[in-house]
Structure 1
Amino acid sequence: MPLLRGTRPLKQWCYVLFAAPELAICAAEAKVLGVPRRWWALATPAGELRGVTGATRRRLRIAPERVAICDEGETVTIEIEPRSPVEVASPEGRDYIWTRKRVGPARAEVAIAGECHTYEGYALVDESAGYHRRRTVWRWSAGIGDGTNGETLAWNLVAGIHDDERASERTVWIDGVAHETEPVQFGSDLRWVRSRSGCLLEFEPWAERREQLSLGFVRVDYRQPFGAFRGTLPGAIELVRGVGVMESHDARW
């Protein structure tokens, strides 16, 4: 994809979310006009939040199958088996945007303050690119959890981007099988997601990554709390417990 299409610069990102009962980890690389920006964060139920914004490529390497972080004596490695892709291309005025979401089993090895731990969990991989509008605003939730009958559930819910009525990226995976969901709306406080038919997913935050960026022509107001979920996913799918993120993103780019 060319770096410019008319007057719109190319935006690209790869974002990985690892979720387990004990913690949630994200790592990402985003590019505007090919210029990269990288970050990672780790949150726990106790409210601990670690991470770095503006990590160099030497300290953070990210790919859909593997994340490697070595930053200020903190080491995190995530091995992922991304499966069950959901891929969407959406019109954006006279331009277009694209995304692919995948989920799969994952293992995280975390070494912090001389202590090493291994966690078994699941990961969601978000690869996106396109010529988004100058101002793009969206809300998003993703996570992994357990159903009432022991199913492994994963979700990717969004409003404001790739949210067409019938050709959206909104997805619930049940034991790895993807199902598109009905439209959703988000609470202004990022404490809930409700589907059109009334299914309510509730969120209890642990800790929040927040950034207000002003860099050249790019302006970003970004909130991403990590935490626990319970309730009902779209499609009347009961979630006993889950771990993941909520997000509010207002970008001028």
Structure 2
Amino acid sequence: MPSAQIPWRGPGADRPDLPHPPGSMPLRSAGQNRKCWRYVGLFDEQLMLCAARAEVGPMAQSFWVLFDRGSGRQLAHTALRPGSREVTMDGPALEIDGRGLRASLRLGECEPVESICPSGSGWSWTRKRAGVPIEGTVEIPGRRWQVSARGIDDESAGYHQRHTSWRWSAGVGRSATGQALAWNLVEGVNDPAENSERGIWVDGDPSEPPPVRFDGDREGIELGDGERLEFSAESAHARDDNYLLFRSRYRHSFGSFTGSLRGHELAQGLGVMERHDAVW
């Protein structure tokens, strides 16, 4: 059963005594399979790129999506092979060696938001870094980019309830007066009224906004303080998996955002909108 210490938000003192990274986590606990993943997204005027590795119990997969904003071309691949090295993540280093894409990227420093929240009979841990600097090279046939951009680093693990459905958005931008803005907003997981994973970063300093509401498939987000983000999709990636015991319906879009965050009007904003419904 979840600890009375959660929901908890950090980094900080009074960390709950529950298995979570970087410590070891058993394959099952609280009657649920262990789920863990890491997702890195890079949002730049020229291109947007994400890569992830995920495990549900004994099953594992990795995927990447690249969107060339100049040409409107999207490339994507999912690897289901056990032990696949197509996407590797080791601390600040991200390497992609896939058919049609090679990338060598390094993540910089960024103040994180960390939370542990109840999820049915289990719990979920996450650490988010929105606005994290990302530098390196990205190459596809006939095109090579040297990138210096910002993005999102999402590390998550836990014993989420059997059926979990959530909406998520992360992105980066600049205000009309020059502040660096970034966000991590969610509905459906790690989203209590307080001590959630929600975060808005202004010049690198994160704070927790009130609960948010996503509307439509890829249309926008109502923030609890009366502000709103509007989303304009530029690409779409979808995957439906049914492995009998495990099922997943995943929708992912890169695009641009307008609106305001913490009283700061977005002069430009880029990022991702995601919808995931999983029985796992």
Q: TM-score, normalised by structure 2?
A: 0.86
The answer on 1:96 being equivalent to 2:123 is: yes
Q: Could you tell me how far 1:2 is from its partner in structure 2?
A: 0.5
Task: Report % sequence identity.
Answer: 37
Show the counterpart of 2:75: 50
Number of residues of Structure 1 aligned to a counterpart in Structure 2:
252
> What whole-Å deviation, never above 9, does each CA across 1:131-170 have from its counterpart, x for those lacking one?
1011000000001111112111110000001111011111
1:21 equivalent in structure 2: 45
Question: 1:66 Cα deviation (Å)?
Answer: 1.7
Q: What's the RMSD between the two structures over aligned residues?
A: 1.5
Matched, 1:5 2:29: yes
Aligned equivalents of 1:172, 1:30: Cα separation in 2: 25
Q: Report what 1:128 is aligned to.
A: 156
Structure 1 partner of 2:10: none
Aligned to 1:248: 275
Cα shift readout 1:69-115 (whole Å, capped 9, x = no counterpart): 11124211221114201110011233211000013211141111133
Whether the 8 Å CA contact 2:79–2:86 is kept in 1: the answer is no
- More strand as a share of residues: 1
Which consecutive unaligned segments of at least 5 residues does structure 2 have? 1-24
Q: Larger deviation: 21-30 or 88-97? A: 88-97
Structure 2 counterpart SS, 1:239: strand
Task: Provide TM-score, normalisation by structure 1.
Answer: 0.95
CA offset at residue 6 of structure 1? 4.1
The correspondence of residues 1-253 of structure 1 with structure 2, limited to 5 A, is 1-45=25-69, 46-54=71-79, 57-103=84-130, 104-233=132-261, 235-253=262-280
* 86-95 vs 141-150, greater mean Cα deviation: 86-95
Distance 1:94 1:73 in 2: 42
CA contact (8 A) 1:29 1:36 kept: yes
Structure 1 runs of 4+ with >6 Å offset:
none
Matched-pair contact (CA < 8 Å) for 1:14–1:127: yes
| Deviation at residue 218 of structure 1 after TM alignment | 0.9
Moved more, 203-212 or 78-87: 78-87
